[in-house]
Amino acid sequence: MVKLHTSLGTITLRIDEQNAPKTARNFLDYVASGYYDNTIFHRVIAHFMIQGGGFAPGMAEKETRPPIENEGAQTTAAGLRNKRGAIAMARTSDPHSATAQFFINVVDNDFLDYTAPTAQGWGYCVFGEVCEGMDVVDKIRAVATGRRGFHQDVPIQEVIIERAELC
Amino acid sequence: MAARAQRLIQRFPEPIIHFIADLHLAPETPGALAIFERFLAGEARHGSALYILGDLFDVWVGDDDRRSGQRVIAALRALTAAGVTVGLIPGNRDFLLGTRFAAASGVERLADPSRLELAEGPILLSHGDALCTADTDYQAFRRQTRDPAWQAAFLARPLTERRAIAHRLRADSERAKPAKSWASMDVEEAEVCALLRAQRAKRLIHGHTHRPGNHVLDIDGQRAERWVLGAWSEEQGDALRLQDGVLTRLTLA
C-alpha cells in the first residue's frame, strides 16, 4: 500500500505487484526514494483523469530514471483496466516512455486499455487502484485549472503531494 | 527518435474530443434530434470535450424564441453538467445563438476560427462559410448579418417577423443555389492554406459544405490536412473523434 498525503487529503493506493511487476516496482522505488515528496498534480482534467508525480511546485520538472517497458498487454489480460479509481502510468506518444508520472482515472476510460501492439493500441498500463480517499481524488478533479507555458489543465492553486509513504 | 521539446512532455493519455457540425436540428427532423440525444447521453460522455462547428440548428432567430431548441438545450445541459466541455462556433444558420442560450445549455460560444492546442500542434476549428470566398454574394450577406448593429436591429423586431424573415432568406438561398456553380459553393483551397499558414497549424476541421471528406494539402512543402464534417440526416449523423492525436470518423445512428 502507498499513501499519498496531499494538500487536499490522503489517497491510499493498493499496488498490484503480482500482475504489473515491472511497473509496480518502478513506482514503489520512486516512492521509497522520496521522489514524489513535494511534487504536484500538474494536469487535471475533470472528466478524465488527474496526473502527477513529475513536477515540483512552480512547475519545475524533475529528472527521472530511464523509461520502463509498457506491461499493458499482460495487465489488461489480468483484468486491470482504466476504470474509475485505477492508477496507471502517463507517458509521451512513445508507448514505452513511462517514467515517474502517473495518473488516476476519475471516470471509466476503457479506451485507454491495451488492445494491440500498435501506436494507438498500446494503451496505458494500470498497476493499482485507490482503495481509500476517492473523495480526495474528486476534490482534486474539481479544482480550477488554466494554462501555464506549454502545459494546459494546470491547477491554478497547486495541489501538492506533501509525502508519499510506503505502508 | 525525433526530439522536439514538446514531444517529451508526458501529455499522454490525451482525452477523447468529439467534433460535429451541420445537424440542422428542427422540429421537422425528429430523427436527427434523437440521434443527437443518444450521442450526447452516450458516446460524447467518453470524451472530455465536444465541439459543435456550426449549424446545430436549422434556424435560430433569437434566444427568446422558446419554441426552438428546448430538448437540445436540455441534452447539452445534461452533458455539460456531467463535466464535459462543450464549445460552439456559430454557423450561417444559427449565428444568433446568444448569451441566454449559452447560460441555459452550459455551452461556450467560440470565435471562428478557434485554435485547439494539442501536444502535437494546434487544430483549427471553423464553421467553414467564411472560407467559401468564391461565393461573393454570400460573403456580402455574411458581412452584413455578422455586423453587431444589424444583429441588434434584427433582434429588436418581433419574433413572428423574425421567423418570417428567416423563412424568406432560406427560400431565397435555396432558389439561388442552382444558379451557383458547384465549385463556388465549396471552400477555396487558397483560403484554407492562407489560414493554416497564418496560424502555423497543420490541421483544420470544418463543416458547412456538406461534403464530408479528408483532404491532404501541401503547404510550403509540408503536409497539412483539411477534415470536413458531414451534415446529419434523419437516419445518421457524422462525427470526428480525436484520440491521442489521431482523428477518426464515426457514423452515429
Q: Nearest residue of B to residue A154 by CA position?
A: B11
Q: Nearest residue of A to residue B44 by CA position?
A: A47
Residue predicted with more confidence, A66 or B68: A66
Residue B1: predicted pLDDT = 36
Q: Nearest residue of A to residue B5 by CA position?
A: A150
- CB contacts of B5 in chain A (<8 Å) are 150
Q: Output the domain CATH number for residue A141.
A: 2.40.100.10
B246 Cβ contact list (under 8 Å, min separation 6): A120
Residue B124: predicted pLDDT = 96
Average pLDDT over residues B191-208: 95
Q: Which of A45, A92, A110 is opposite residue B12, by nearest beta carbon?
A: A92
Q: Nearest residue of B to residue A103 by CA position?
A: B13
State the best of B6, B7, B8, B10 to mutate against chain A, taking most chain A CBs within 10 Å: B10
- CB contacts of B244 in chain A (<8 Å) are 93, 119-120
- CB contacts of B85 in chain A (<8 Å) are 47
Q: Which of B48, B82, B120 is opposite residue A45, by nearest beta carbon?
A: B48
CA nearest neighbour of B142 among B131, B157, B155:
B131
Residue A166 has pLDDT above 50, yes or no: yes
SS3 B180: coil
Which range is least confidently modeled, A58-62, A99-103, A122-126, B120-124? B120-124
Q: Distance from B1 to chain A by nearest Cα, in Å?
A: 10
Residue predicted with more confidence, B6 or B171: B171
Confidence of residue B72 (pLDDT cuts 50, 70, 90): very high
Contact A97 B10 (CB under 8 A): yes
> Looking at chain A from residue 86 to 105, which residues have their Cβ under 8 Å from any Cβ of chain B?
90-94, 97-99, 101, 103
Mutual angle of helices B136-145 and B148-155, in 10-degree steps = 70
pLDDT, averaged across chain A: 95
Domain that holds residue A72: 2-166
Q: What dihedral do alpha carbons B168, B173, B174, B179 form, nearest 10°? A: 140
Q: What is the pLDDT of residues B164-198, one digit of tens each?
A: 999 998 888 888 877 787 777 899 999 999 999 99
Average pLDDT over residues B108-119: 90
Q: Quick check: pTM over 0.90?
A: no
Q: What is the pLDDT of residues A43-92, one digit of tens each?
A: 998 888 999 999 999 999 999 999 999 999 999 999 999 999 999 999 98
Retrieve residue B53's grid coordinates.
Answer: 462547428
- CB contacts of B13 in chain A (<8 Å) are 48-49, 90, 103, 109, 112, 124
CATH topology for the B15-252 domain: Purple Acid Phosphatase; chain A, domain 2 (3.60.21)
Domain count along chain A: 1
Q: How far apart are CA B177 and CA A56, in angstroms?
A: 60
Q: What dihedral do alpha carbons B217, B219, B220, B222 form, nearest 10°? A: -70
- CB contacts of B12 in chain A (<8 Å) are 90-93, 124
Q: What is the pLDDT of residues B117-153, one digit of tens each?
A: 876 789 999 999 999 999 998 999 999 999 999 999 9
pLDDT, averaged across chain B: 90
Residue B7: predicted pLDDT = 38
Q: Which of B84, B117, B120 is opposite residue A47, by nearest beta carbon?
A: B84
Contact B15 A97 (CB under 8 A): no
- CB contacts of B246 in chain A (<8 Å) are 120
Contact A120 B120 (CB under 8 A): no
Confidence of residue B54 (pLDDT cuts 50, 70, 90): very high
Retrieve residue A90's grid coordinates.
Answer: 502517463
Residue predicted with more confidence, B234 or A120: B234
Average pLDDT over residues B23-49: 94
Mutual angle of helices B159-176 and B148-155, in 10-degree steps = 120
- Is the Cβ of A26 closer than 8 Å to some Cβ of chain B? no
Confidence of residue B5 (pLDDT cuts 50, 70, 90): very low
